Amino acid sequence: MNRSVLQRGLPLALAIGATLAAASAQAKLPDGALDPAFGRRGLVVTDFPVNDDFVRAVAIQADGKILTIGEGGGDAPLHRDYLHCRLLRFGADGKLDAGFGDGGQVRIKLRSNSQPAACRALAVQADGRILVAGGNKGDALLLRFLADGKPDRGFSRDGVQTLDAGGFDEFYGLALQADGRIVAAGKRFDADSGQDAVVLARYRGDGNADRGFGRNGVVVTAHPEQAQGAGAQHVLLQADGKIVVAGGGGRWNLIARYLRDGRPDPGFGKNGSTVDRITGLNAGAQGLVLQTDGKFLSSHPIVAGSGVRGTLLRHNADGSLDTTYHRPDLEISGRLAPQSDGRVLVVGNTAGAAPKPGRLQRVNPDGSVDATFAVAPIDFGGNDDYFIDLAVPGGGRMVVAAWLSDENRIGLARVAATTYCLADPVNPGRWIGFSESGWFSTIDSGIGGSGQGLLAQGRLRSVQPPGQPAGRALSAGGPAPAAYRVDAFAVTGDVRGFGFANVSKRGSAPATYGLVDTRMNDPACKILPGR
């Protein structure tokens, strides 16, 4: 389909929509509903105790299978003499994958010493290989496994890579470049000075250090103005290849940006970093996402009255704190995941003396809490269930991972959270994501590597085109904020189909898009890393 066809307008889009809608169907659950096709009424609990294992992360493969990584140890987990991590894989139906490792699990044991050891982060490469990051013996640790769970002997030294950056080192986050390079972020603790520092390392696809990055593949950035917690807890890649990390501790929030070669970005904050001291802040960044307009959101617990609640901070693309952002008042604080319409999902636990109950909340692009997102109770049957992480694949079905402390088991829940993606088939780098609540966001990751777009809200109305088969047609239109206008059409409901949209900014020419799939976070709707 060429651009001239797309520009002929809405009547043609309606006709094509009817044709494609008739050829395809997809069941749609209401937002917040548990997926009955997953486990038992949307919930999965491992049928074996995990002892001291504490689930740290969840990831979803391209084929829909689900991975979790947890850490634990022997009888004395605070003084264990070896690292014991458990890598699990579940099928898309929630059952343990018998073809992975030993009956669905891979146990990771590495000799340690008196230093604590941990597995913190999890990522799946495009070729299906699995990365685990953490620390052991005071060194940062990176492991890689083949798709069947066996150690990847072609990765560094028998599937294991370690880093000693001059202190007690540990990786907390992973990001994958499109060229196969691996970015790992964490912290270094210097016992002599009592200070933390950001550690950033990049590795080639074979697991060896990327000598063209920083100093022999490593960058260490100290922040002496910050009292504690100056390490990086999260890392992400912009469309232009720049690397962003977030961390901090106590009342301090840290966000830093680096160029592709590891140098601090002089156009971001002060010498590449922004360190904010926020009154009431109770911890550093617990989650980090990049908005389509180039701004960053981080999640934090915050003291409110006699208790602790959650909130989000927003930083502009240059690193400055966005003082115009309406910080949401959340019941929870934890990991973040973006939706393609600009809204953000938050998973965590009610702060305070007890971790219960775990919850999911959704925040609109203007900072308001999405009151329409009513999640069904996620009840694994325990009293103290820690909601740790969430992963959002295509298809509008996110997966939440929890540690069930009553029974020392791992729990998974699959929940519906749908948005719709419009992408230009001529230029897949340009797209629009929109929702039935009227929010929309655009991204232009293919022109100039800007990775920035629009965030706004318009009206959403339903119409029934002549000859349209079962399903609904939605139209999103003004009035939006004065500078923007969006007109969008999509076949939704129980069908997939074609859509048409025009998004314009005052003083600029309209941009034209065509819908290729109404699945949530369609690949065309993702910011492509490494550009």
Q: How far is the C-alpha of 132 from the C-alpha of 123, rounded, in Å? A: 7
pLDDT of residue 252: 85
CA distance readout (Å), 118 to 152, 219, 341 = 20, 22, 35
Name the residue type at position 392.
V
pLDDT of residue 530: 35
Locate the domains of the chain by residue range. 3-28+420-525, 43-416
Q: How far is the C-alpha of 332 from the C-alpha of 530, rounded, in Å? A: 32
pLDDT tens digits, the chain, 531 residues: what are they? 333 223 333 333 332 332 222 222 245 688 899 999 999 999 999 876 666 668 899 999 989 999 999 886 544 444 445 567 889 999 999 999 999 999 999 988 876 655 556 899 999 999 999 999 999 888 999 999 999 999 999 999 889 999 987 778 899 999 999 899 999 999 988 767 667 889 999 999 999 999 999 999 999 998 876 656 678 999 999 988 999 999 988 788 899 999 999 999 999 999 999 988 888 888 889 999 999 888 999 999 988 776 788 999 999 999 999 999 999 999 988 999 988 888 999 999 875 545 556 789 999 998 999 998 888 888 887 777 889 999 987 667 899 999 887 777 889 999 988 777 776 655 556 677 777 777 888 776 544 445 577 788 776 655 444 554 444 444 555 444 545 566 666 554 444 444 566 666 666 666 666 654 444 445 556 544 432
The count of other CB atoms within 10 Å of the CB of residue 289 is 20
Does the domain at residues 43-416 carry the CATH identifier 2.40.50.140? no
Strand 499-505 to strand 484-492: parallel, antiparallel, or no bridges (unpaired)?
antiparallel
pLDDT of residue 27: 54
Nearest to 419 by CA among 517, 521, 514, 524: 521
Query: Helix (H, G, I), strand (E, B), or coil: what is residue 12?
Result: helix
Burial of 165 (0-12, 13-18, 19+ CB in 10 A): buried
Nearest to 297 by CA among 387, 363, 386, 361: 363
pLDDT of residue 524: 52
